[in-house]
Amino acid sequence: MKIYQSRKNYERKLLINYQDMFYDITSINPIIKTSLDLMMVSISNNLNISDYVLKLIQNETGDKNINFESYLPVDSPEVWAFGVTYADSMKERQAESDTPDVYGKVYFADRPEAFFKSTLRRLRGPNMTVGIRNDSTWDVPEPELTFIVYQKQIIGFTCGNDMSSRSIEGENPLYIPQAKIFKNSASIGPCWVPIECLNYDNLKVEMVIKRNSEEVFSGTCNTSQMKRKCDELNKWLNQSNDIPDGTTVMTGTGIIPPMDFTLNQNDLVSITIENIGTLINTVEKV
C-alpha cells in the first residue's frame, strides 16, 4: 500500500495505490485531503493506517491509471536526521575530516548523532530541485530511509535525500549545521508506506546520478546494515523533545560517492528504496 499526496491549483487530494489500483481517498471521504488527515482519522477510529484504508475502499472500484501530480508525501513541519548509522558512513566521514576521531566515537557511543535538517518551507518533493551551496566545493546527495512520526510513534516510511556539503563538514564538525541546513537541502517522496506494510529493517537502497543523461555514479546498500535501528533513533529523537505530528526523520546513508566526485548543476539524482518507490530530483546551485 502506497500513499500519495497531490496538489494542483491549490486543490489537495490523497490517493492510495493498493494491489496496482489507485483509489481517490478524498472523493470517498472529503475530510481526508492530506496524509495528516488520514493519520488523524485512522487513529480516531482505533485502526492502523492500512486497516482503515482497506475498510474505506472495500466497496470501491479502483483505477489503474489516475492522472495526478505527486507532491510531498506528508506536510512535514520538521525534518530531522541521524548520521553515522552505517559503518561505511563512519569510514568516509573519517577520511574527509580533519578531526576523524569524532566520527568513530559517535558510531560506537550510546547516544547517536542527531541534527535538525529542514522546515516544511525548505523541504522539496518529487521532481523538484534540490540545492548545492555556492560556497561549497564538494557536494553529495545522501539516500536515506526516512520515517514519519505521529504521536511520537513511527507510522510509516518514505525515501529521503539529505543533501550535504562534504567540504564544509570536513573542515570542522562544528560546521555541520551549515553543511546540512540550507535552501532546498532536503527532499522526500514520492509516496509513503504504512509501517505495518513494510519490513523496514531489510530494504535495498539504490542511488543513480546522471549528468547530461549519462550515469556518473551508482551505489547500493541495505537497511539491514544500519547499526542503529529506526525504533532506537525514534526513542532518542523524542527524549526531552517535542516532535510535531508528521515530522520526517532521515536515518543515515550507506551510499557515499568517492572522494573525487561532486555534484554539478543540473545533475539528476534518483533514489530508490525497495517496496517504497523512486525519488527523483534535479540539482541546482543555491
The CATH number of the domain holding residue 265 is: 3.90.850.10
Instruction: Show Cβ contacts of residue 34 under 8 Å, excluding neighbours closer than 6 positions.
Output: 5, 12, 14, 74, 75
Same domain, 155 and 278: yes
C-alpha cell recorded at residue 240: 526531552
pLDDT digits (tens, 9 = 90+) for 11-62: 899 999 999 999 999 999 999 999 999 999 999 999 999 999 999 999 999 9
The pLDDT assigned to 92 comes to 56
In this structure, is residue 66 part of a structural domain? no
- Is there a contact between 95 and 259 (Cβ–Cβ < 8 Å)? yes
The grid coordinates of residue 225 equal: 546494515
Q: Give the global pTM.
A: 0.94
Pair 205, 256 in one domain: yes
Comparing CA positions, the residue from 189, 80, 77, 75 lying closest to residue 128 is 189
Cβ-contact 160, 281 below 8 angstroms: no
Mean pLDDT, to the nearest integer, of 86-90? Answer: 65
Range of the domain at 221: 78-285
